[in-house]
Structure 1
Amino acid sequence: MKKKRSLWITLAAVACICVSMLFGSAATAKAEGEGQEYTYTDATLFVCGADGVVTAYAGDRNVKEIVVPQTIGGVTVTGIGAEVFKDMTELEFTAVPDTVISFGDFAFSGCSKLNTIYPYQPVLDSVTGVDTGKFVILNSEQNAGGVITLPTNLNQIGTGAFAGCTSVGKFAVADANAYFTTHAWDRAWTQQPNDNSGDEVVTNPKNTGEVLLSKDGTMMYRLAPAFHYTGNGLYNIPETVVTLLPYACEQVSLNGGFVIPASVQVIGDYAFYKCGNLNTVKFAEGSQTSTIGAYAFAYNNNLQKSDITDGASCFTLPTGVTSIGEYCFAYCQNIVIDISKTKLEVIPDYAFYESDNLHELQTPVTLRKVGAYAFYGCNNLNEVKFLGKTLEEIGTGAFKTCNNLHIVDIPEGVTAIADGTFDGCQNLNTIKLPDSLKTIGDNAFKDCRNIHEMVIPPNVSHVSKNSFAGANQNDIDTSKNQYIQKFVKAKLPDVGEKFTVGNLKYKITKSHKTKGTAALYGTKGKSLKTAKVPATIMYKGYKFKVTSIGNNAFKNCKKLKTVKLGSNVKSIGKNAFYGCKKLTGVTLNAKLTTIGNGAFTKCIALKKITIPAKVTKIGSKAFYGDSKLKTITIKSSKIKSKKIGKSAFAKINKKATIRVPKKKLSAYKKIIRSAGAAKSVKIKK
């Protein structure tokens, strides 16, 4: 920026006139550059639309100073568009014409050395009145170096316009500006009448301060990042503020913390992002805060508490908070937070990403969803308590690599555990899964090497082959869910080990990886109406043939009506179906060899039965007292004279017909009669 000093007297006079026009008759002090003539930056380096908004700068982006011409291509400049000077990290000084009425989104974002913006008015030729291409800055007490001075008629500041401008120390606003004002912590605010309306509005008489606000004080645009606070205790955000706009306090170097007044309802995206020295945020009593935006408190490594005056040991969110944004508290490595009293329905994606100091989490009763990677890398989180009954979804990688997580109790209502939810939780040992669960995603429990207690619910119908990859599967109880046993392999169970599948109880009779067997030994309750005994059963990831029905297995199941035995059952134990008064249909399988003593005693509704070809023994009282049993078909030719027990057919229906193999008719008549069949019972081939 070329300086000309030859017109000192003339320019000083013009400067005084300009100051008077902008700031009224207030006293002025000579700031750096006052009374000096400056030259515009080459207009050809700018792109300007027909509306006067500069949309691009094509010059050297490492310059320290830029002066935006008042006219470009014959168009009066009215705005600095979105991202025009973004990330010009060497830029320190910018002058803009006082005709500018808008700064676009991220217009100066990332200009980390920018500390001064001056509005100016051009120097006109004294004879022709034509713009000379030179100008004088509009100086006053407020706009010395290190101050962002807004043009007189500026009415719009876009999102993040000064984001990352970490060298800004103050803001200045002209009295005549109808849209913005400032606040200084050490200067009291006053109530002044608003023109002739009779209404009172909050104003700042000096219009220079570290905080840039909307004219009515309800919206906070920016706290100057380089502002040096020398007061005692926490810095108080003005009590008029309702909305902390995005980037409002981003990268502020202020030591200590803030008091957020009760009036604040919305904390915008990146509002307190990367405030390196921030350790405490106090929400005033009666806080109305309901919304906290994305990245609002992210990357604050020293943030720990929300209220030191009450001795609070954690960061406590106000009870009225209903939503927080993605990455809201990400990388807050020392934060201990309480969200349990809020009205949050969603913990969004990455909300507490790598917040290492979280130890215990209690969720609000209103919670419906935990987003993807919400607690990823929270290495000290050891317990999660879901307090409500409204949770429906836990997102991908939500607790991934939470290395010290020990206990998780997932409430009813959750239907899916997404991919990688607990991936790498090496110390997770107790997991309670709800009956509502249907899906366990890929790598959901990958490398969970210390699982000691987990029961897979019966409704799980989708599991990935990698859901439990690298996890300890020995203590995962899959007895309630046959489907999942294809994917989970525990330690081979011991002989005699018992388990329940559905309403039927089993125990291991032979332990083998591929040739194991099990017996059905009982039922879960006595209210069964039908029973279908499977050929095989899965347990702990191993398949076992069901080869026997144990003693008393269905005894006195008085509601049982039908039974079908699986294809591998070889024996029916003593009193297995004793007293099943409503049993009308029994299907015995082809491999059956033994019907035990009293197996079907007092099955008084049973009308017919077929005894398969491989049966070699029918125990005593096997069908004793089956008063309606009228049709018996014996296909076996292998039953010897002493292998039908005493009273096996005693007290069956007197008009019953027993059909036997033709070649065994004579022999079987004798042994069947000796087994209690009445003389009226017909024995035929």
Structure 2
Amino acid sequence: MNKKCKILFGVLLLVAIAALRLPLLQVEAESSSASDFQMKGDTLVNYTGTASAVSIPVSVKHIGKEAFSGHTELKKIEIPGYVESIDYNAFSGCSSLENVVIPDTVTKIGNGAFSGCSSLKSVTIGKKLDTLGNGVFVNCTALSEIKLSKNNTEFAYDSGVIYSKDKTVVYAMIPGYAQETYKMPSTVKEIKNNAFWGCMNLKKVEIGSNVKKIPDYAFANCQNLEKILFPYSVTAIGIKAFSDCINLGGIEIPVSVSSIHETAFDGCPKLVITAEEGSYAAEYEAKRDKSQVAQSEYQEVTKTSDERGQDGADSSDNSDTGTTLGQSTIVGGNAVVFIDNSRSKVLSGNVQTEDEQSSAASSEVMGDGQTSGGYSKYTIVNGKKIAAQAYYGNTALTEYEMPGTIEEIGDFSFARTGLTYVTIPEGVTTIGYGAFYHADNLASVSIPDTVTTIEPSAFDKTKWMEDCLVNRRDPFTVVGDGILIAYGGVGDKVEVPEGVKQIGAEVFKGHTEITAVTLPDTCTIVGEDAFAGCSNLTVISGGDNLKEIKDRAFSGCPISTIKIPASVEKIGLKAYDITDTIKEDGSEVAVFLGKSIPGVSYEKTATRLINEEDRDSVLKGVNVAIVNDSVTPEAVRGTALDYDGGFRGLVCSVEKAAEDGTQGRLRIKFIVMRQEDVNDNTIPSEVTVYGKRYKISNPREAVEYVSGSKAEVSGQGTVSVEVNSATLSGTPAATAQLSGINANYVLNISDNAGAGSTISAAYKKAVSGGKIVSLQVYDLALYDAETLIPISKTGKQQMTVTIPKPMGVAQDALQVACLDEDGQLEKVDFRLVTINGATCVQFSAQRFTVYGFFN
């Protein structure tokens, strides 16, 4: 085009704008050129521009699938009155898009068209729309209402819900629906897929009396939903219908229901289903895997096939062609390819040379840090650790030779693989949580005596473990450095063999036949949930050399008198939870045999956000502690008897021992409670110790009351933010939001310049030839405000954090990343937002670790 033509074109354009009185939006959109719109006939196939305000050309009749998907910079869009359809995921993930006016000419909006437009506040829909896909506004969290043309003949909009005109079909509830309850009209016969997905304010829903099916993803990710009422008209519950409803508690499913998909209630840790005996729902509840490892797997490991489910569209074919290097999976919401950089043999079954492997590794670098995907990760880290989830789900992996340098096997690293045998080499010390979980064909396992730690569920659901659990001839399976990992006995009295150093996690869990246990002198550790749910266990003897009793070790055990040996140094959370046990009044007593009180410990399970109920008192339900006379109120700070740790009750010493039928006497040393909370119902006047009665000799009013040192936390389900940084402006203030929580949390953000070299080194490994020019590094630490226990990860819940843009880092080509549990770099999704005139970074945090902001 010559200069004269260019001038003429510009004049004509200005005239057209003036004549049509087009809004400022179109003038701002002039930064988009014709070349930014890739067309196929009259269909816009792809937009490649970067403008924040865009006007779609009048030649466009159809906005194609994913045409604007992922354009986080897009704030305003002008859809001309020539467009007839908006296809699948057309604007999906346009997280800065604020307003949309859909003209009267549009007749069809496809599945997930505006899904993930988290800033979308206003939507206007024209009169000719007659087809509305599934999940059109999924995850549009700011959208609280829409405007629907009164002349539209197909749809009705009423108080935040889009219905068919006759109200027989529910298409969607607006994600910003403000009410906590919703009663579905009795006229409704059908609910569309994804209709209520992510409606965060919903707490109670009553399904209409004519609805027959709860469809796929209907209420998925309603994280505050607590109650759902089903009518007898319902016969089926579909795929992931209530997945990630993390607060869904007790529900009653009627006998009319004859079909429930196995994934219908995935990610519902509090769920308890009540149903008529013999009904389909009762059988479903009996078979449903309610184990903690199943919940953890669901929260931490996301299968690729799940990722597109929320938009209601068919998943694309992601089958392995046999040419990929390693196993593809999703970590922290990002797709990554794990690569074994220590071997020339690819362990997924494909053989490649070292040169091919190096080339493939460098090719896995994902974009510019603002698109979907992640950095390259490796199955083996620093030659010493097999990374968490490294080979997860790789059923083609039937054999694996571990390098001799390995010291640690990460969480879920070989879970659901096709391994048939494994020989763990000398030098390995730690086998992580769920490391070989559900490797169903794993029949032979060799564990060296260098292994000192086997985390919970490491071998659950393997053939090897299943065989151990039914081995009546040799019921005690001891591996590694004296770790009892499985018990196959059935007797009511158990004598743990000499030589056992650790009672492994969950070894005796749920053995309700056990009434008495004898621990050997060699035993120093009782693992997580080791005897949990042994509801008839009343007597524990031996164990005089115990050093550590881990989380929930004896939870649910009605031990006659809890005895803590003098050798014990640490006791885990809810190690002795007697709240749901059958014990006589006055027997809620713990005796400490040492001169000092053990400290409090906690395990990895307690640091997962979803395990909120596990972060509780060491001695839950115990209201009397008998201690050495030398113990003072100051001496219990930070111990199992600390008020801040959850203990509430009397701390006594023995004044006179009970003997020969004579009642003994206990003297109150102090009371770990606030005085105003004490009454005859909370504190006993007599107790039973070792089967003998003791009377409290001194009145409660005459003793010292000891309460907490922490400030009382007000409110519920809040996240407060503390910033300790010289590189973050205090204006505007940093904020954090986390949905679906009941407890209060504190997020601490602090400078960590010392970790800059670690982030830089991790970036060079993840990005071939990668170099960081400017960098700011922070520690993000999340704490339970009540217990001060740190939270390591949020699972599928994402915390949205907003901070002022770090000083010294440019907003152009900004990248945000964090270190995972293996020290490998992980991409963090973010967007730039303006708050009170200041540029801020808003990002999603799923783990709490070191974060880098860099160019």
Point out the structure with the larger helix share.
2
TM-score scaled by structure 2?
Answer: 0.30
Higher relative contact order structure (alpha carbons within 8 Å, sequence separation ≥ 6): 2
User: Based on CA coordinates, which of the two structures has the bigger radius of gyration?
Assistant: 1
TM-score scaled by structure 1?
Answer: 0.37
